[in-house]
Amino acid sequence: MALRFFSIAIVVMALASSFANASDPNPLQDFCVAIDDPHHVLFVNGRFCKNPDDVNADDFLFRGLNKPGNTSNPLGSKVTAVNVNNFPGLNTLGISIARIDFAPYGLNPPHTHPRATEVLVVLEGTLYVGFVLSNPPPGMKNKLFAKILHPGDVYIFPQGLIHFQLNVGKSNAVAFASLSSQNPGVITIANAVFGSDPPISLDVLTKAFQVDDKVIKYLQSRFWYDNN
Start-to-end CA distance of the chain, whole Å, equals 54
The Cα 59–Cα 35 span in angstroms is 10
pLDDT at 12 over 50: no
Burial class (CB in 10 A: 0-12, 13-18, 19+), 15: exposed
- Three state DSSP letters for 20-64: HCCCCCCCCCCCCCEECCCCCCCEECCEEECCHHHCCHHHHCCCC
What element of type H or E holds 215?
Answer: helix 213-221
Higher-pLDDT residue of 38 and 66 is 66
Q: Which of the 8 DSSP states describes residue 72? A: -
pLDDT tens across 177-218, in order? 999 999 999 999 999 999 999 999 999 999 999 999 999 999
pLDDT score of 49: 82
pLDDT score of 34: 82
| Sheet of strand 96-102: strand arrangement | 77-82, 96-102, 173-179, 118-124, 154-157
For range 131-147, the mean pLDDT? 94
- Three state DSSP letters for 161-214: CCEEEEECCCCCEEEEEEECCCCCCCEEHHHHHHCCCCCCCHHHHHHHHCCCHH
Residue 34: CA atoms inside 13 Å, Cβ hemisphere, count?
Answer: 17
Q: What does DSSP say about strands 187-188 and 107-112: parallel, antiparallel, or unpaired?
A: antiparallel
Task: Give the predicted TM-score (pTM) of the model.
Answer: 0.83
The Cα 195–Cα 78 span in angstroms is 19
> How does the average pLDDT of the chain come out, rounded?
88
Indicate the pLDDT class of residue 15, thresholds 50, 70 and 90: very low
The Cα 48–Cα 27 span in angstroms is 13
pLDDT score of 51: 86
For range 124-130, the mean pLDDT? 98
pLDDT tens across 85-112, in order? 999 999 889 999 999 999 999 999 999 9
Three-class SS of residue 19? helix
The Cα 67–Cα 80 span in angstroms is 10
pLDDT tens across 43-89, in order? 566 678 888 899 999 999 999 999 999 999 999 999 999 999 999 99
The Cα 225–Cα 74 span in angstroms is 7
The Cα 88–Cα 97 span in angstroms is 13
